[in-house]
Amino acid sequence: MTGPDESERAPANFVVRALTTWVATVVRHPVATLLLVAALTAASLFHSSRTVRMNSDVSTLLSQEEPFRRDYNDYVAAFPQLADTTLIVVTSNSLDQANDAIVRLRDALAQRPDLIATVYAPGSEEFFRDHALLYLDPQALNRVIEGLAEAQPALAALAVDESLRGLFGQLEVALDNLEDGEAAPGVVRLADLVSGAAESLLAGKPRKIAWADEFVRNDGEIYRLLIVQGQTDFDERIPSRRLIDGIREVVKELGLTADSDVRVRLTGTVPLLHDEQVALQQGLTLAVLISVVLLTALLYFGVRSLPIIAGTLASILVSLTWTTSFAMIAVGEFNVISAAFAVLLIGLGDDFALHVGLRCEDESRRGTPVRTTLVRAAAGVGGAISLCALTSAIGFLSYVPTRYHALADLGIISAGGMFISLIVSFTVFPAVLALIPSWSARDGETNVTSSLIDQLPMRYPGAVIAVSAVLTVAAIAATSQVRFDFSNLSMRDPESESMTTLRDVQAQGFATDYAAIVLAPDLASSVELGARLAALPQVASVETPFDHVPADQAAKLELIDDAAFFLEPALYPTFEKTPPDASERLAALTTLKDRIAALPPQRGDAVAQQAIRRLGQALEGVAGGADPMGRVGELESLVISDLGTRMDWLREALEVEPIEFADLPEGVRTRLVAADGRARIAVVPRGDMSDVDELSSFAAAVATIAPHATGRPAVEMGIGGLVVASFQLAIVLALSMVSVLLLVVLRDVADALMLLIPITMAALFTTAIGVLIGMPFNMSNVVVIPLVLGLGVDTGIHLVLRFRESGSMAEMVASSTPRAAVLSALTTLAAYSSLSVSGHLGMRSLGVLLSIAMVCLMFTSLIVLPAVIVARQKWVDRGKKGQTWVAGAKRDAA
Amino acid sequence: MVLATGSAASGGVDSAVESSGVAAPTAVAAAVACDGVAPQSASCVIESLHRLLAKVTAGPELSFEERCDALTPGVVAAFDVDFMALKSLGPHGGKLSDADRRRWVDAFARFTAATYARRLGGSRGRGFEILEERPARKDTVLVRGQVVGSDKAPVSIDYRMHQVGGAWKIVDVYANGTISQLALRRAEVASLLDKMSFEEAVVYVEDVAKVP
C-alpha cells in the first residue's frame, strides 16, 4: 500500500526531525545529560516534598455550584454542628459502665481544645437521665414499673436500714411466705443478686451489684454516642489523622481498651473519610511497588537486556518525580482519583522506552554502533511515539471540559505526564544506553508474538473478522444493561472500623445514613410538611423535631405516678435505723442462713426454692471462712454499692412532669431547629437505596414536595447525573478528537477508520464484560472507557505506521514493533492490575476494569487489527488488478 | 402460682385480727373521739375497721363464707377498692369496659375480705393500737399503728389514706411499716396477666376468694 518513499508522508516530519536532532545531541553528551537530569530530578523531589497535598474531601470532587451541592451547603450552614462529625460509639453490657465511660470521655475531650471544637453527648444530658422513664416505650416502661413493684419490699427495707441487716430482714419475711407454701414476688431476683455478689467474693473476683441495670433492664448491649467536631486548621497528608489519633489516645488513657467491659469505636464523616484515605494510600503504595516489580520481571523476560531495563526504570522514576511536581504546579493537590496517576504512568511511561529500545535492538542486529542505532531508532519510532503521546493525552484530557473536576485533575496530571514521559524517554533512556560501549543483541529468539500474529490474522483474516463482528453485536446488546453505582459508601473498604460501626449503628436505629433532609420554614409547619412526606409511598417514616418529645406522655405519667405512689416508703422513709456494727451484721447473716438451712423441702415454687438454697450455700461460704466479720463487711459493700445514688435518680425520675419541645435541652433543640428558625425533618426511605431505580424514585418523590431536599439521596442522584453526563461527553470528545487527529496525521481516511476499530471494539467488550461480571461503573472506574478510546489506539498506530514504512505485513510482523507492542501492553496490564489489591473498592474496581480493557485491547489490536489490515490489503490488491485490467482493456479498445 | 395471701402482706392484718375478741377494743392512743358519725377522721375509720374485725371474731362460730359476707361491706367502706383494684391492673385498667371494670373491682373487694376472713381463725390475744396520724405526700395521710400482744414483738402496720367524696379511705397498707400491699398486688397481677387473659384472671381471683 505504501512504499519506503511514502515514509515522507509519515506524520509530522518536523517532529521526527526535531526528535532525531535531540537524541543525537543527548547521545553525544550522555554524562552531561544525565547530570542535568539528576539535578532537575533532585530539585523536583525537593519541590514535591514541600508542596504535595492530598485532598480527600469527596464533596469537592464536583463543582460546588451544582444545585444539589448548593442545597447541601445551605443545610450545613444552617446546622454547622452536623458537619464533619466524628461519632464515638460506646457499647457495653452494663448501663453504669456505658454512662460512666461517656461522661469520662466527654470530660476528657473537653479538656483538649487544641484538638476538639465541640463535644455533644446526646444521651448523657441530665435531662434525659431524669426523664428516662418518659422516653421508654409504654411496654418497656410498664415492665420497669412492674419490676419496681416486685422490688418494693426490698427497697423499702433498705431505705429504712441500708445494710445487709435490712436486706436479710426482708428476705426472712419472704421465707415466711415460702414456708406457708406461697411465693413472694421478687425474692428470686433478690436472692440471685446477693448470691452472685457473695459467690464473686468467695471466688476472689468481687463484683458489685449494678443497681442501675436492675432498675431499668436492658436487653443486649447498651449504646451511647458522643458526637465530636475537631479543630480544622490542620495541614496534613491524611486528613484528621491528628484528630483521630488524639481521640484514640484519650480513649486509651481512660483505660477503655479492648479488654475492658466497654468498647469504643469511631464512625461518622471524618473517620469514614480517614479510613478511606488510609486504604487508598496503602493500596496505591502497594500498587506502585507491585507494578514496578512486575514491570521489572516482564522486562527481564521480554527483553533480557540489562541496559534497556536500567534505562526504562530510570525513565519511569524520573517521569514520576517530574510529573508529581507538575501536578502540584498545575493542579495543586491530589485527590482520591488523581492519585492513581502514578500507576497509570508506570504502565504507560515505559511504552516509549520499550519501543525505542527494541527498535535499537533491531538496528543493532545490522551491526551498527550504539549511538547511531539510537538516532536511527528515534527516527524510526519518533513519529509513532509522538502520535501516541498525543492520542493518550487526548484520552486523558477528554475529562477536562466536563463538570467532574476530580477526573479533570487526573486528566491534566496524566496528560502532562505523557509529555514528560515522551521527553524523558528520548532523553534519559538514550543517555543511559549511550553509556554502554557495545551492544549484545540476542539472536535466535523465538518470537512468540510474531507467531501469534502470523497464525491467526495472517492466515484466517476472514474468520477473525467474522468472529469479532459477532462478538461486537453481542457486546452491544450487553451494554444496554450497564449500571451506575454512585454511592460513596460502596467505594470504601467494607471491613474498616468506620464502615462496620456505621452498619451496626444503622441497624440499631440510631442513625439513618440514607435519610433525605428537608428544612421546613419553621417548627410549626414541620408537622404538616412531615405528614405530607410521610404519605408518600416511597417513604417509610418521617422524623420531625416534635418526635424528640416522648409520645403517650399522659399514659406514661400515670404509670410513673403509680410507682411513685407505692414506692413512697422506699423513697421517703419515715425513719432510719442506725447502721449495724460488724457483729450485728454477722448476726443477721447467720440468722438468715440458719433459717434457710432449717427450711424443710416442700411444695411450692421450685425456682424460688432453688434460689434460696443457692443463697444459703453462698452465705455459708461467707460465714464459714476466715475472718467472717470482715467478709460480711465486704459483702455488704458489694451488695449495697451505689444503691443510694440510684435511689436518688429514681426519686427524680418518678417526679417528672410532662415535657414539650421547648423543654428539651439546648443541645438537642439547636440540632433540630436552626438559628433562622428552620426545622429539620428527616425522611427515611422504604426501598433499598443501593438500587439506583429505587433511589431515584425516592429522591424524585421527595422533591415533588420539597424541591430543596438534601441528604445522601439527593447528593447521590446529583452526583450520578453529573457523572453520567460527564462520561458521555468525555466519550464523545475522546472519540472525535482522536479521529480528527488520526485523519490529520495519517492523511488517509481508510487508515484512520481502521485504527478506530480496535478501540471502539475494546470499549464495547470492556463494558459488556463489566456487565457480565456484575461490576457497575462507579465514581472511580468511569474513567476507563474514555481512556481506552484515547490510549488504546497506541498499539494500532505503531503497527500501521510500521506497516506503511515497510510496505509488507510479513516484514512488519518480523520487526520489533509487535514485540514491543505486546510487551508494553503486558507491562501496562501489570501496572493496572496492581490497583486491584487496594482495600479501597473504588480503586480496586478501577484496576480490574482497566485490566479487562487492556486484555480486550490486546486482542483487538494484535489480532483483529492485523486481520483487518491484511483483508484490506487483499481487497485493495484485487482492486488494483481490476484497474490494470480495465486500463489494459481501454488501451486495447482505443 | 398463688396469690400471696401470706403473712407478709396480711401479716399485719393477721396479727391485728389476733386482737383479743374477748377483751374490750383497744383504746385509741391519740385523744380523738370516734363517735361513729360521718364524716369520720382517718384514724377513726381505721378504728372502725378493727372494731369490725374484732366483732366478727368474737361472735359465734361462723363459716368462712359467712365471715366473708360479714366483712365485705366493712372492707368496701374502709378501703378505696376502686382505686386499689385499678392500680393493681396497671395499664390494662384503662382498656376495660365498664362491665369488666366493675367485675374486677368486685372480685378485688371479695378477695380482700376473704384474706381477712381466712385469718380470723385462731387470732386472739393481740390488740391493735393507733400511734399517730400524720400527713403524707400527695394529699394523703398516714395512720401509723402497731399490733401488740403478749408473746411477740410489736408489728408495725401503717395505713395510707385519702379522701373520696369527703370520706377517708385506705389506699395502701404498709406491713412492717415498709411493705406496700399495692406494690405486691401490682406485681402479682402483672405475673398473672403474663400467663392468662383478663377474663381468666378475673375468674382466678374470684376462685381464690372462695378458698377458705
Please indicate if any CB of chain B lies within 8 Å of the CB of A176: yes
**Complex-level ipTM:** 0.81
pLDDT score of A12: 54
- Measured between alpha carbons, how far is A264 from A249 in angstroms, rounded to an integer? 12
- Measured between alpha carbons, how far is A149 from B189 in angstroms, rounded to an integer? 11
- Measured between alpha carbons, how far is B53 from B48 in angstroms, rounded to an integer? 9
pLDDT score of B36: 63
Partners of A650 on chain B (C-beta within 8 Å) are: none
State how far residue A605 is from chain B, nearest Cα, in angstroms. Answer: 7
Could you give the number of structural domains in chain B?
Answer: 1
Torsion of CA A846, A852, A854, A856, to 10 degrees: -150
Q: Is residue B2 part of a domain?
A: no
Partners of A172 on chain B (C-beta within 8 Å) are: none
What backbone torsions phi and psi does residue A224 show, to the nearest 5 degrees? -130, 140
Interchain contact, B160 vs A562, CB within 8 Å: no
**CA count, 13 A, side-chain hemisphere, A835:** 28
C-alpha cell of A269?
A: 464523616
State how far residue B33 is from chain A, nearest Cα, in angstroms. Answer: 26
Please indicate if any CB of chain A lies within 8 Å of the CB of B1: yes
CB A351 within 8 A of CB A70: no
Please indicate if any CB of chain A lies within 8 Å of the CB of B180: yes
State how far residue B24 is from chain A, nearest Cα, in angstroms. Answer: 31
Does position A189 have pLDDT exceeding 80, yes or no? yes
Query: What amino acid is encoded at A575 in this protein?
Result: F
Please indicate if any CB of chain A lies within 8 Å of the CB of B137: yes
Please state the rounded mean pLDDT for residues B127-153. 82
Contacts of B85 (CB under 8 A, 6+ apart): B104, B105, B107, B108, B109
For A146, the closest chain B residue by CA position comes to B187
Please indicate if any CB of chain B lies within 8 Å of the CB of A158: no
Does position A314 have pLDDT exceeding 50, yes or no? yes
Contacts of A152 (CB under 8 A, 6+ apart): A186, A566, A567, A569, A570, B179, B180, B183, B184, B187
Percent residues over pLDDT 90 in chain B: 13
What backbone torsions phi and psi does residue A870 show, to the nearest 5 degrees? -60, -45
Least confident of A178-182, A516-520, A562-566: A178-182
Interchain contact, B8 vs A176, CB within 8 Å: yes
Instruction: Give the nearest partner residue to B178 out of A145, A156, A562, using CB atoms.
Output: A156
pLDDT score of A892: 63
Instruction: Kindly provide the residue ranges of all beta strands, DSSP E only, lying in A422-552, ordered along the sequence.
Output: 516-520, 539-543
Please indicate if any CB of chain A lies within 8 Å of the CB of B34: no
* Mean per-residue pLDDT over chain A, rounded: 83
Is residue A241 packed enough to be buried (19+ CB in 10 Å), middle (13-18) or exposed (0-12)? middle
* Spatial CA neighbour of A106 closest among A89, A117, A119: A119
pLDDT score of B37: 64
Question: In the beta sheet, which residues pair with residue B126?
Answer: B149
pLDDT digits (tens, 9 = 90+) for A812-871: 776 777 777 777 788 888 888 888 887 788 888 888 998 999 899 888 888 888 888 888
Look at A436 and A766; give whichever has higher pLDDT.
A766
Does position B93 have pLDDT exceeding 70, yes or no? yes
Angle CA A654–A659–A662, to nearest 5:
145
pLDDT band at A59 (very low <50, low <70, confident <90, very high): low
Look at B121 and A129; give whichever has higher pLDDT.
A129
pLDDT score of A207: 86
Partners of A553 on chain B (C-beta within 8 Å) are: none
Instruction: Give the nearest partner residue to A149 out of B6, B142, B186, using CB atoms.
Output: B186
Interchain contact, A153 vs B186, CB within 8 Å: no
pLDDT band at A49 (very low <50, low <70, confident <90, very high): confident
- Measured between alpha carbons, how far is A148 from A647 in angstroms, rounded to an integer? 11
pLDDT score of A487: 73
Question: In the beta sheet, which residues pair with residue A777?
Answer: A484
pLDDT score of A673: 92
pLDDT digits (tens, 9 = 90+) for A675-701: 999 999 999 888 777 777 888 899 899
Provide the pairing of β-strand A516-520 with A85-92.
Answer: unpaired
C-alpha cell of A757?
A: 476499530
pLDDT band at A765 (very low <50, low <70, confident <90, very high): very high
Interchain contact, A156 vs B179, CB within 8 Å: yes
Give the count of beta carbons closer than 10 Å to the beta carbon of residue A362.
20
Least confident of A5-14, A23-32, A451-460, B158-167: A5-14
Q: Which residue, chain included where needed, has cell 381471683?
A: B205
Domain membership of residue B63 as a residue range: 7-208
Q: Where residue B89 sits, what CATH number does that domain have? A: 3.10.450.710
pLDDT score of B49: 86
The CATH label, of 3.40.980.10, 3.40.50.2020, 3.30.70.1430, 3.30.540.10, for the domain at A83-131+222-267 is 3.30.70.1430
Share of chain B residues as helix, strand and coil, in percent rounded to the nearest 5: 50, 20, 30
Please state the rounded mean pLDDT for residues A24-51. 89
Query: Could you state, in order of their start, the residue ranges of all structural domains in chain A?
Result: 83-131+222-267, 137-215+568-653, 494-551+666-714
pLDDT digits (tens, 9 = 90+) for A253-300: 888 877 778 889 998 888 888 888 788 778 888 888 888 888 888 888
Between residues 531 and 560 of chain A, which touch chain B (CB distance below 8 Å)?
555, 558-559
Does position A336 have pLDDT exceeding 80, yes or no? no
Please state the rounded mean pLDDT for residues A805-809. 75
Does position A4 have pLDDT exceeding 60, yes or no? no
Residues present in chain A in total: 894
Query: Residue B211 to residues B113, B115, B203, B205: CA-CA distances in angstroms?
Result: 12, 10, 13, 10
At residue A785, the 3 state secondary structure works out as helix
Residues A134-143: contacts with CB within 8 Å, 24+ apart?
A: A134/A550, A134/A553, A134/A556, A134/A557, A134/A560, A134/A656, A134/A659, A135/A550, A136/A216, A136/A556, A138/A552, A138/A555, A138/A556, A138/A559, A138/B91, A141/A556, A141/A559, A141/A560, A142/A559, A142/B90, A142/B91, A143/A217
Best mutation target among A574, A605, A651 (most B Cβ atoms within 10 Å) is A574
Percent residues over pLDDT 90 in chain A: 15
Does position B8 have pLDDT exceeding 80, yes or no? no
Give the count of beta carbons closer than 10 Å to the beta carbon of residue A558.
15
State how far residue B6 is from chain A, nearest Cα, in angstroms. Answer: 6
Partners of A568 on chain B (C-beta within 8 Å) are: 136-137, 160, 172, 180
Please state the rounded mean pLDDT for residues A291-316. 82
Best mutation target among A173, A175, A567, A603 (most B Cβ atoms within 10 Å) is A173
Does position B27 have pLDDT exceeding 50, yes or no? no
Query: What amino acid is encoded at A245 in this protein?
Result: D
pLDDT digits (tens, 9 = 90+) for A618-634: 988 888 878 888 888 88
Please indicate if any CB of chain A lies within 8 Å of the CB of B11: yes
pLDDT score of A712: 83
CB A586 within 8 A of CB A632: yes
Interchain contact, B187 vs A149, CB within 8 Å: yes
Does position B106 have pLDDT exceeding 60, yes or no? yes
* Spatial CA neighbour of A99 closest among A116, A77, A122: A122
- Measured between alpha carbons, how far is A68 from A70 in angstroms, rounded to an integer? 5
Please indicate if any CB of chain A lies within 8 Å of the CB of B182: yes
pLDDT band at A446 (very low <50, low <70, confident <90, very high): very low
Please indicate if any CB of chain A lies within 8 Å of the CB of B4: yes
C-alpha cell of A346?
A: 508506570
**Highest-pLDDT range among A340-354, B20-34, B182-196:** B182-196
At residue A516, the 3 state secondary structure works out as strand
pLDDT digits (tens, 9 = 90+) for A214-232: 787 776 788 888 888 887 6
pLDDT band at A891 (very low <50, low <70, confident <90, very high): low
Give B97-143 as a DSSP string. -HHHHHHHHHHHHHHHHHHHHHH-TT--SEEEEEEEEEEETTTEEEE
Partners of A185 on chain B (C-beta within 8 Å) are: 4, 184, 187-188, 191
Does position B191 have pLDDT exceeding 80, yes or no? yes
Give A847-892 as a DSSP string. HHHHHHHHHHHHHIIIIIHHHHHHHHHHHHHHHHHHHHHHHHHHHH
- Measured between alpha carbons, how far is B8 from B183 in angstroms, rounded to an integer? 12
Least confident of A357-361, A447-451, A578-582, A591-595: A447-451
Percent residues over pLDDT 70 in chain A: 91
Look at A720 and B187; give whichever has higher pLDDT.
B187
State how far residue B23 is from chain A, nearest Cα, in angstroms. Answer: 29
- Measured between alpha carbons, how far is A807 from A869 in angstroms, rounded to an integer? 12
